[in-house]
Chains A and B, each alone.
Chain A
C-alpha cells in the first residue's frame, strides 16, 4: 500500500513538473521584411538552432521576407541587416550556449523568402532542424549549407537564374535529400556527410552542355545518387567497407563511366569517398 502511495505521489509530482514546464514556455513571433532598393547582391546568413525551417524564393517585391516563431526563454532572434554589405543575418541564437538541442523543437519555426532576381549567396547553419530549402528560381551564386542533427530537403525545382560557383553541403547525423541539382547550375557541388541517409539527385536542366564536378564524402550511411541518362557520368570511387552499385556504368581505368560519357554534351564527374554503407546509382529518363 505504501508503495502504491509512493508511486501515486511520484506520478503527481512528475505531472505537475511537466505541466509547469509547458506553462513556462513562452513563444514569440518576429516577422521581418525589406523592400528592394536596387541591391547588387544579397548575402543571407541563416542560423537556426532548432525547429522547422523553410527557405525559398519570394514574390519579387521584397528583398526578403521572414518569420520566426521561437521560445523566447531559450533563444534570441537574429534579424540584422547590414546595408553596407547587403547581408542579412536571420535566425535564432540559443541563450544558453550549452543548451542541449539534441531534438527538433517542433513548435519553433523559421521561414524566409528571398527575391528571385537579386543575386544571392546563402550560408545556412542548421542545428536540430527539419529543413525544406527551395533554392530553385533564385539567382544563386553560392550556397553553403551545414546541418548537424537534421532532416533536410534541398530542392532546385526550377533552374537557377544565374551561374553558380559552388554549392557546399555538409551534414552531421542527418537525413538529407537534394533534388534537382542539375538545375543548380553550380560548377562544383560538394557534399560531406557524417552519418545518415543521403539522396543526391542530379536531374534538372543540363541543356547547353556543361562539365560539372561533384565531390562526395560519406562516413556511414546510405548514399543514393540519381542521375539523368542524358548526362555523361564518370565516377571515381574510393571506398573502404561500402558497397557500390555500379548499375549502368562500365569501368574505364580507375573510374566508372556511363557508355556515352565520351560523346555527351553535358558531363558530370563525381568523386566519392565512403567508409561504410551502401552507394546506389539510379538512372532517370529525362
Chain B
C-alpha cells in the first residue's frame, strides 16, 4: 500500500514536472497542495553546477540542478527517487549565470526568502533555448509554499537575570531588528543602492518592511541611550575579541621573532652595502678610523659622548652664522642637508669602522693561529664585524616576547650598540674623518716572526762562565 502511494506520488510529480514545463502549472496546484510545504532548503554552487533543493514538511525533496547545459529536476518522495532532464540551456549563457547568482544567495536567505526569491525570479531577453529552460527551472517551484512558522512558539522560560537588565538586548535580538540588520548587510555587500528595488523583489518585501519597522522601533525606543548608559555594549564592539585584545601566542611570537630576524638580516645587508662602499671609495680613511677605535676606544667613546649633545647647538650656530650673511642665507638649505648627511655619515661610518675593527681583530687572531682566511680582507673585516655587532641583537630578537628577559636583552643590546656607535663617532672626530692618524696604531717594527728568531746556542753560556770562573 505504501509502495503504491509512493509510485502514485512519483507519477504525479513527473507528470507535474512535464506539464508545468509545458506551461500548465495551474493544473497541478491542487494535487501537490497538501505535501508542498517547504521546511528547509539547500543551495549548492560549484564551477560545474548549481543546484537548489527544497525539503518538504513530509520529508520529500525537490532538487533542480543546472549542469553541463542540462536542467535536472529530481524528486525524492518517500524512499524513492526520480530524476529527469527536463530541458537544455546554453552553457555559460545568461540563464546559467543568473541561476548561479540566485542560488548563491542561499546562504544569506532563510528558506522563506529563498523560496520567495526563486518564485519571483524573472529573466527577460533570453534566447529560445534558454527561455524554455527557464520555464523548466522555475515551474517546479511554482506551487511550493513555505511553512508558516508559528509565532506563539515559546522556548524555555527566559531567566530572571536576563529579563532584569536586558531589555535592550531583547530589543536588539528581536527578529525584526535582526532581519533588518541582515537585509542591511546584504545591501552593504551588494553595494549598489540602485539595486534596492531588485533586492526587495529578491529578498521579499517582508525584509524591507521589517527593516523600516525595526529602525522606527529603534528610533522611538531608548535602546541606544540605554546601551550607552549601561556601558555594556559599545557601538561597533565586535562580538569576539579583536586582534588587539587577544593574548600573545606561540604562533604570533614565532612570527614576531621571524619578522625581527628578517629585520636584523635586512639591517645587516644594508650596513654591509654601506661598508662595501666605504671600503671601495675610502679604504684608507675607514682603516684609520677603525684603528683609532681599536687603539683609543675609551678616548673615542668619551669624545663621542661629549660631541653628541653638541650636535644640535653646533647646527644652530651654523644656521645662525650663515643667516648673518646674504650668501649664507642662500646656502642654508644646502648646509642643512650637508650637515645632516655629514652627521649621518660620521655616525654610520664610525659604526662601520667599529665593525671593521672587530672583524679585523677576529680575523687576525685566526690568522695568527694559522687558519687561512682568504682574500678580500677589508671586505671580510666589515662582514665579520657586522655579524659580531648585530649578534648583540639576537638575544633581544629571540627573547622579544618574554616579558622581563626580552626587555633586558633589548635594553642591553641598545646600550651596547649606542656605546659602539658613540665610540665610532668619536673616532671619526678624533681622526678628522680618517685623515689624521694620530690616535691610530703606531708603526710596529716587529712585522714578522723572523725578527724574533734567535740562533740556537751551540754551548751553554752559563756553564762556560762557570768553568771560566772555576778556572
Q: Do A and B bind each other?
A: yes
- Chain A CB within 10 Å — which of B46, B166, B247, B251 has the most? B247
Contact of B159 among A119, A179, A185 (CB under 8 A): A185
Question: Quick check: is A127 within 8 A (CB to CB) of the other chain?
Answer: no
Contact of A161 among B46, B104, B162, B246 (CB under 8 A): B162
Residues of A within 8 A of B156 (CB): 117, 119, 139, 161-162
Question: Quick check: is A91 within 8 A (CB to CB) of the other chain?
Answer: no
Contact check, A137 vs B169: say whether CB atoms are below 8 A apart: yes
Contact check, B39 vs A37: say whether CB atoms are below 8 A apart: yes
Question: Quick check: is A275 within 8 A (CB to CB) of the other chain?
Answer: no
Task: Given A139-B155, A185-B159, A205-B161, decide whether A158 and B166 contact each other with a Cβ distance below 8 A.
Answer: yes
Question: Quick check: is A136 within 8 A (CB to CB) of the other chain?
Answer: yes
CB distance from A212 to the nearest CB of B (A): 13
Q: Which among B107-115, B277-285, B321-329, B331-339 touches the partner chain?
A: B107-115
Residues of B within 8 A of A168 (CB): none
Contact check, A161 vs B42: say whether CB atoms are below 8 A apart: no
Q: What is the interface of chain A mostly: helix, strand, loop, or mixed?
A: strand
Question: Which chain B residues in 158-183 approach chain A with CB under 8 Å?
Answer: 158-162, 164-166, 169, 173-175, 178-179, 182
Contact check, B240 vs A153: say whether CB atoms are below 8 A apart: yes
Which residue on A lies nearest to B252, using beta carbons? Answer: A175
- The tally of residues in B whose CB lies under 8 Å from a CB in A reads 56
Contact check, B240 vs A132: say whether CB atoms are below 8 A apart: yes
Question: Quick check: is A157 within 8 A (CB to CB) of the other chain?
Answer: yes
Provide the bound-state CA to CA distance between A255 and B162, in Å: 32
Residues of B within 8 A of A177 (CB): 241, 246-247
Question: Quick check: is B446 within 8 A (CB to CB) of the other chain?
Answer: no
Spell out A's residues near B (CB within 8 Å): 26-38, 56-62, 65-67, 72, 79, 81, 83, 111, 116-119, 132-134, 136-137, 139, 151, 153, 155, 157-163, 175, 177, 179, 185, 195-197, 199, 205, 207-208, 221-222, 224
- Chain A CB within 10 Å — which of B59, B106, B112 has the most? B106
Contact check, B175 vs A29: say whether CB atoms are below 8 A apart: no
Task: Given A116-B173, A136-B239, decide whether A29 and B247 contact each other with a Cβ distance below 8 A.
Answer: no
Provide the bound-state CA to CA distance between A34 and B106, in Å: 11
* A-B pairs with beta carbons under 8 Å apart, 11 shown: A31-B44, A33-B40, A34-B111, A35-B149, A59-B179, A66-B107, A67-B106, A159-B161, A162-B158, A175-B246, A195-B250
Provide the bound-state CA to CA distance between A58 and B111, in Å: 13
Contact check, A61 vs B175: say whether CB atoms are below 8 A apart: yes
Provide the bound-state CA to CA distance between A224 and B248, in Å: 11
Which residue on A lies nearest to B59, using beta carbons? Answer: A83
Residues of B within 8 A of A65 (CB): 107, 110
Residues of B within 8 A of A185 (CB): 159, 161
Provide the bound-state CA to CA distance between A26 and B44, in Å: 13
Provide the bound-state CA to CA distance between A37 and B164, in Å: 29
Residues of B within 8 A of A57 (CB): 173
CB distance from A23 to the nearest CB of B (A): 11
Which residue on B lies nearest to A199, using beta carbons? Answer: B247
Provide the bound-state CA to CA distance between A208 and B48, in Å: 57
Contact check, B240 vs A32: say whether CB atoms are below 8 A apart: no
- Chain B CB within 10 Å — which of A32, A57, A72 has the most? A32
Question: Which chain B residues in 353-399 approach chain A with CB under 8 Å?
Answer: none
Question: Quick check: is B249 within 8 A (CB to CB) of the other chain?
Answer: yes
Task: Given A158-B166, A177-B247, decide whether A33 and B146 contact each other with a Cβ distance below 8 A.
Answer: no
Residues of A within 8 A of B110 (CB): 33, 35, 59, 61-62, 65
Contact of B251 among A119, A175, A222 (CB under 8 A): A175
CB distance from B167 to the nearest CB of A (A): 12
Question: Quick check: is B41 within 8 A (CB to CB) of the other chain?
Answer: yes
Which residue on B lies nearest to A66, using beta carbons? Answer: B107
Provide the bound-state CA to CA distance between A118 and B169, in Å: 17
Contact check, B159 vs A29: say whether CB atoms are below 8 A apart: no
Contact check, B251 vs A134: say whether CB atoms are below 8 A apart: no
Contact check, B155 vs A118: say whether CB atoms are below 8 A apart: yes
- Chain B CB within 10 Å — which of A30, A66, A134, A222 has the most? A30
Task: Given A29-B46, A31-B42, A61-B179, decide whether A163 and B109 contact each other with a Cβ distance below 8 A.
Answer: no
Question: Quick check: is B7 within 8 A (CB to CB) of the other chain?
Answer: no
Task: Given A31-B106, A81-B40, A177-B241, decide whether A38 and B165 contact each other with a Cβ distance below 8 A.
Answer: no
Residues of B within 8 A of A33 (CB): 40-42, 106, 109-111, 114
Residues of B within 8 A of A81 (CB): 40
Question: Quick check: is B45 within 8 A (CB to CB) of the other chain?
Answer: yes
Question: Quick check: is B43 within 8 A (CB to CB) of the other chain?
Answer: yes
CB distance from B250 to the nearest CB of A (A): 6
CB distance from B18 to the nearest CB of A (A): 29
Residues of B within 8 A of A61 (CB): 110, 112, 149, 175, 179
Contact check, A26 vs B47: say whether CB atoms are below 8 A apart: yes
Residues of B within 8 A of A162 (CB): 156-159
Residues of A within 8 A of B45 (CB): 28-29
CB distance from B34 to the nearest CB of A (A): 16
Contact check, B44 vs A29: say whether CB atoms are below 8 A apart: yes
Contact of B165 among A79, A161, A197, A207 (CB under 8 A): A207
Which residue on B lies nearest to A65, using beta carbons? Answer: B110
Provide the bound-state CA to CA distance between A65 and B113, in Å: 12
Provide the bound-state CA to CA distance between A177 and B48, in Å: 40
Interface string of B12-43 (1 = CB under 8 A from A): 00000000000000000000000000111111
Residues of A within 8 A of B317 (CB): none
Task: Given A29-B104, A207-B164, decide whether A35 and B173 contact each other with a Cβ distance below 8 A.
Answer: no
Provide the bound-state CA to CA distance between A35 and B153, in Å: 12
Provide the bound-state CA to CA distance between A107 and B111, in Å: 26
Provide the bound-state CA to CA distance between A273 and B162, in Å: 33
Residues of A within 8 A of B109 (CB): 33
Interface string of B47-68 (1 = CB under 8 A from A): 1100000010101000000000
Residues of B within 8 A of A160 (CB): 159
